A and B are shown apart, each in its own frame.
Chain A
Amino acid sequence: MAYTLEGSTGTWEIVCGLEVHAQVISHSKLFSGASAEYGGEPNAHVSFVDAAFPGMLPVINRECVAQAVRTGLGLDAKINLWSRFDRKNYFYADLPQGYQISQFAHPIVGEGVVEVTLADGSTKEIGVTRLHLEQDAGKSLHDQDPTKSFIDLNRSGVALMEIVSEPDIRSPEEAGAYLTKLRQILRYLGTCDGNMDEGSMRADVNVSVRKAGEEFRTRCEIKNVNSIRFVMLAVEAEAKRQIMVWEDGGEVKQETRLFDPTRNETRSMRSKEDAHDYRYFPDPDLLPLILDQDWVNGLKALLPELPDAKTARFVADYGLNAYDARILVIEQATADFYETLAKGRDAKLAANWMMGDFFAALNRTGRSIENSPVSAANLGALIDLIADNTINGRIAKEVFEAMVETGEAPGAIVEAKGLRQVTDTGAIDTAVDAVLAANADKVAQFKGGAEKLFGFFVGQVMKAMAGKGNPALVNEALKRKLS
């Protein structure tokens, strides 16, 4: 069911494309040796190149190029063996050179595709137009002094990948799914950490609306949206605004807008008439970037398994359903954890434990899987204790909670707390006899046809045995004695 918006004149469709700026994971900047690390004291990570001192020259960082190529390969995109850097000229205080070095005419990566899965289980391909490398700008701080602005050049020159999608997105959900999937792929590849709150991934959102069957209408660009949720809200808010403009007899003007999440609306930033003339031209300080196909092949051979392939493998190898498999591969670390856990064990039981108690414990304790108090080995050992009847399922939950709290191995906890399951039939018979004797009235009711009371007897026996009775043996003893 296609997503549409109802206006007073009929049904509208959203057309949306995203330009994602993803900060490349690298030790140093795109064209200088300064650290590309996030944070640091203002202007602590600035070389003379980044500050555009006279006579300073850019030299391309090989690792940043490799990261862009890896990303292109991960997006199933064409790798352009010949690409070129251009200068995008404009003046701003946090742009020391007076131009940004970017790839305007000849990007390093061409057309690719991202497949997204929507809530209804359907999938959709969103086209990628291109990916290019460019420099980030510095940061202007206007709130440090009543009359002065401060400049922090730590980010100046850090490598960004601009990933431009085709206008294939038709709903806020698709926009969110595309960003989520793109971020997942970048994280798997290790080419961008995808941390939108640190600004290492941000999106410019292009939105227009149209009636069914129409050509594209005029679009607006919403700049620098910094969370997936805000992108989804911005798409909807902007589409609704444009529908109102059209339906009021007006015309949507091409312009750049900003999204205000507190008011859930977009605001005009600058019109097309005020747009910069960037005077792009090839950067004469840099030679064209020429890649060797063998080098690209070498990078391709070392790419990690990506989410789609991993999902398919989890379904095939572990017998999981697609939904569970997708959840387990959301992050590389989760998938790795699962594979360690499932190895040599009941794969479905392992999946249930991870997606149930384990994820709940992470949520509750605010931990990530990387610093989880319960290691995959320990969780596996717990599953093994259930499988070999050392403990029963109920006790296992108790043991798991102790593992979350202490980080200890399950065997040690079971021994220390004496939680080993009781399989001694004599002990079980004794407990059953005591419970039946103390509840003669209920025994009579049971025998009179109230069969639901069987559960009550099981509960009483387990309680009497401090939860350690083997459930199967307890059931068997009760059945025997009540028949």
Chain B
Amino acid sequence: MFEYTLATARDALRARKISARELTTAYSGAITALNPEINAYITETPELALAHADAADAALAKGEHGALTGIPLAIKDLFCTKGVRTTAGSKILSPFIPPYESTVTANLLRDGAVFLGKANLDEFAMGSSNMTSAYGAVTNPWTRHGDNRPLVPGGSSGGSAAAVAARMALGATATDTGGSIRQPAAFCGIVGIKPTYGRCSRWGVVAFASSLDQAGPVARTVEDCAILLGSMAGFDPKDSTSADMPVPDFAAACKRGVKGLRIGVPREYRMEGMAPEIEALWQQGLAWLREAGATIVDVSLPHTKYGLATYYIVAPAEASSNLARYDGVRYGARSAGHDLTELYENTRADGFGAEVKRRIMIGTYVLSAGYYDAYYLKAQKVRALILKDFTDVFRNVDALLTPATPTAAFGQGEKMDDPVTMYLNDVFTVPVNMAGLPGLALPTGLDASGLPLGLQVIGRPFDEETVFAVSAALERAAGFSAVPTLRAGA
């Protein structure tokens, strides 16, 4: 049951070789068995999953099916799900049960998906390790050779990535503000795509940084991601930043091949001190694409080095405002106070964790009178330059290939002393968010200790199809078949 990919499970369901109930029961069992160790789920919804599965079986029995009928998924706990607690990984939302369904999850339900539960994440999606969750760390299903110390799954979509890697879901929703889909996908040896900003509706997704947040899927194969994204995406009049564009057949694009495509290699992504095996992985990827008929072109994205600094102004600025609504007045956790100010102070002091508080303070600072021009305004200008870098480069190339992360997964508790070290995880992913482009991470090799390493394919705005074509070609060439230590069906 756990050998199925999303695509093959879908075919088996349609052929009635397996039932949705069987599949769901197997996955719910995997969660029961593995979640105590991995902690990929904050909230498990086995009964709801069975209800979804039975509905799927009833539809399949009538010969009806949507794109995802009967497919069990994990939902990042940042997506509001009607009647199911949604915490955003924060204590402040611990009692919050949304009376509405996010557009993305509603799209998945429309297409027949089965929801297994709500996946763990860094608090309010702020983090690269899943260590900031108020619901405990997530353990990466992978371990180093001969070393059982727990590793982080990356973040913020650590629960989603770990669940998929450990076969506790066939796929999962995730969100990416600075790399929160691609970095955990790379750390967990799976595939994840952050689509173009505006491709998926943000309506009903708890906001971190509105101009950067974008939902996308994680799954075990490029095609699985394409199938999921096809359901998640689409124009939503309830989100003013949603793009009114048709959703192409992403899965079909996976079969296109790369012959004749021009693939750019941004020289600024060759960082000093980068592990030699990352460099080797990158060169291998380029060689595979060349063999498959693509042309490799050296390109320059000169403002790359400002990406992280810019991101850590823009994202906290928006977050400081977006998180103002968690005040204990209308919903969520409240800590009493003698007056309104004390109610705010107590609620937010108790309800938010350290990383969230840090970013609220940074964001408040950079927007303050006297600092706005030096920080926020300048960051917006640099952001425009970063976008221009990409726009210029995409006149000459069809896609870019870069490493997904500077390192493989690190140990739980590492990099916790200095926030800046943690922020460096996102150095290759952040510019893509700043420019609103689609970026996909996929595993193409292992490091010396046996941990997965990933490459990133970056495309033009709303050209996810080329991203899928290039990624699928890399996937075929790499033939990545390593599996994590912790997994269902092992």
Contact = CB atoms under 8 A, between A and B. Distances in A.
A54 B330 contact: no
Given A48-B99, A55-B202, A97 B238 contact: no
Nearest to B338: A147
Interface in B357-398: 364, 367-369, 372, 376
Q: For the side of the interface on A, what is the size category? A: 20 to 34
A87 interface: yes
Nearest to A91: B344
Contacts of B318: 281, 284
Interface in A325-374: none
A52 B330 contact: yes
A281 B379 CA distance: 12
A55 B80 contact: yes
B367 A281 contact: yes
A388 interface: no
A284 B209 contact: yes
21 contacts: A51-B331, A53-B98, A53-B100, A55-B79, A55-B102, A55-B202, A55-B204, A55-B207, A56-B203, A56-B204, A59-B239, A89-B367, A91-B344, A93-B329, A98-B321, A98-B323, A279-B369, A279-B372, A284-B209, A285-B207, A287-B241
A357 B321 CA distance: 60
Contacts of A279: 320-321, 364, 367-369, 372
B286 interface: no
Contacts of B238: 57, 59
Nearest to B314: A284
Contact of A98 (B211, B237, B324): B324
A54 B206 contact: yes
A226 to B, nearest CB: 24
B327 interface: yes
A56 B100 CA distance: 10
A280 B366 CA distance: 11
Nearest to A275: B369
A286 interface: yes
Contacts of B344: 91
Given A149-B340, A151-B329, A281-B367, A55 B205 contact: yes
Interface in B198-235: 202-207, 209-211
A54 B96 contact: yes
Interface string B321-346: 10111010111000000001000100
B412 to A, nearest CB: 28
A281 B329 contact: no
Given A96-B329, A279-B364, A279-B368, A54 B340 contact: no
Interface in A41-84: 48, 51-60
Contact of A285 (B98, B240, B330, B367): B240
Interface string B467-480: 00000000000000
A281 B210 CA distance: 13
Interface residues of B, number: 43
B75 interface: no
B109 interface: no
A59 B240 contact: yes
Interface in A129-152: 149, 151
Interface of A: 48, 51-60, 87, 89, 91-93, 96-99, 149, 151, 277, 279-281, 284-287
B324 A97 contact: yes
A93 to B, nearest CB: 5
Interface string B72-102: 0000000110000010100001001011101
Contacts of A93: 327, 329, 340
A48 B327 contact: no
B206 A281 contact: no
B368 A286 contact: no
B240 A286 contact: yes
Contacts, number: 97
Nearest to A147: B338
Contacts of B331: 51, 53
Given A55-B102, A57-B202, 15 more contacts: A51-B330, A54-B88, A54-B96, A54-B207, A55-B79, A55-B80, A55-B202, A56-B203, A57-B240, A91-B344, A93-B329, A93-B340, A151-B329, A281-B321, A286-B240
A156 B150 CA distance: 48
Contacts of B369: 277, 279
A57 B325 CA distance: 13
B210 A284 contact: yes
Contacts of B96: 54
Name the 6 nearest CB pairs between A and B, nearest first: A98-B324, A284-B210, A284-B211, A279-B367, A52-B325, A55-B204
B207 to A, nearest CB: 7
Contacts of B372: 279, 281
B206 A97 contact: no
Contacts of A286: 240-241
Chain A interface main SS type: loop
Interface of B: 79-80, 86, 88, 93, 96, 98-100, 102, 202-207, 209-211, 237-241, 317-318, 320-321, 323-325, 327, 329-331, 340, 344, 364, 367-369, 372, 376
Contacts of B86: 54
A330 B359 CA distance: 55
A55 B321 CA distance: 13
A24 B327 CA distance: 29
B275 to A, nearest CB: 35
Contacts of A91: 324, 327, 344
A58 B240 contact: yes
Nearest to B370: A277
A298 B21 CA distance: 59
A325 B65 CA distance: 72
Nearest to B102: A55
A270 B162 CA distance: 53
A89 B344 CA distance: 15
A59 B368 contact: no
Given A89-B324, A98-B325, A54 B367 contact: no
Contacts of B100: 48, 53
B206 A55 contact: yes
Contacts of B102: 55
Given A48-B99, A54-B96, A98 B367 contact: no
Contacts of B340: 92-93, 149
Given A54-B86, A55-B207, A287 B330 contact: no
A87 B204 contact: no
Contacts of B320: 89, 279
A92 to B, nearest CB: 8
A285 B242 CA distance: 10
Contacts of A280: 367
Contact of B325 (A58, A59, A60, A97): A97
B52 to A, nearest CB: 21
A287 B207 CA distance: 16
A280 B372 CA distance: 9
Contact of A89 (B93, B207, B239, B321): B321
A61 to B, nearest CB: 12
A57 B239 contact: yes
Contacts of A54: 80, 86, 88, 93, 96, 98, 206-207, 325
A285 B325 contact: no
Nearest to B368: A277
B240 A60 contact: yes
A40 B29 CA distance: 51
A58 B203 CA distance: 10
B210 A285 contact: yes
A277 B364 CA distance: 10
Given A54-B80, A54-B88, A287-B240, A98 B330 contact: no
Nearest to B198: A287
Contacts of B98: 53-55
A71 to B, nearest CB: 23
A56 B96 CA distance: 14
Nearest to A88: B321
Contacts of B324: 89, 91, 97-99
B173 to A, nearest CB: 13
